[in-house]
Structures are given as structure tokens and as C-alpha cells.
């Protein structure tokens, strides 16, 4: 099943994924992050509040990566805002 979200939501999801890649650089490959994020996005495909999808994709992806690696990023990393 393919998730269908509007361009704004997808752009926000992409920004969130870039931020996660910065946080987990050197710990998890970008391809693995993409896979976990794609699974999170698919799980939210039927969301009734798509404006919250980027927030939850970020949360669920970070939680899963933390479960898999035991790594929790420290504060002070630079986040991408675009």
C-alpha cells in the first residue's frame, strides 16, 4: 500500500528524515534510516490528521533506531530547517 500525502507533508517528512540522518551520522547508514522512516510513513498512511504525520514519522523513526542501536543522540547537533 502506497501512502498518499500532499507535497507539504512530504516536504516536512523529508526535512525530518534529514535531521535524523544528522543525528545518527556514523551510527546508522542513511539507507537504513530511509527504510525505517519509510516503514513509519507507511504505518501512518491512513492518518486522519496528516499535518501531524511528519512529527510522528520522526518520533517513530527515532524510537525504532534507538531500539536497534541503543544510541540516543545528544543535544547540540545542528538541525536542518529546509
Q: Per residue in 4-25, pLDDT tens?
A: 899 999 999 999 999 999 999 9
Instruction: Say if 35 falls within a structural domain.
Output: yes
Residues 6+ apart with CB under 8 A from 71: 24, 27, 28, 65
Q: Which domain holds residue 20?
A: 7-69
Single pTM value for the model: 0.84
- Map residue 55 onto helix, strand or coil: helix
Q: What counts of helices (H) and strands (E) characterise the chain? A: 3, 0
Instruction: Say if 80 falls within a structural domain.
Output: no
Instruction: Say if 29 falls within a structural domain.
Output: yes
Q: Per residue in 34-48, pLDDT tens?
A: 999 999 999 999 899
CA–CA distance, 4 with 62 (Å, rounded to integer): 22
Total of domains in the chain: 1
> Rounded to whole angstroms, what are the CA distances from 36 to 44, 64, 69?
13, 7, 13
Amino acid at each position: 500500500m502506497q501512502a498518499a500525502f500532499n507535497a507539504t507533508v512530504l516536504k516536512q517528512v523529508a526535512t525530518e528524515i534529514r535531521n535524523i540522518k544528522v543525528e545518527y551520522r556514523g551510527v546508522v547508514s542513511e539507507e537504513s534510516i530511509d527504510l525505517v522512516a519509510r516503514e513509519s510513513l507507511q504505518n501512518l498512511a491512513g492518518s486522519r490528521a496528516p499535518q501531524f504525520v511528519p512529527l510522528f514519522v520522526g518520533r517513530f523513526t527515532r524510537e525504532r533506531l534507538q531500539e536497534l542501536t541503543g544510541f540516543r543522540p545528544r543535544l547540540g547537533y545542528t538541525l536542518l530547517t529546509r
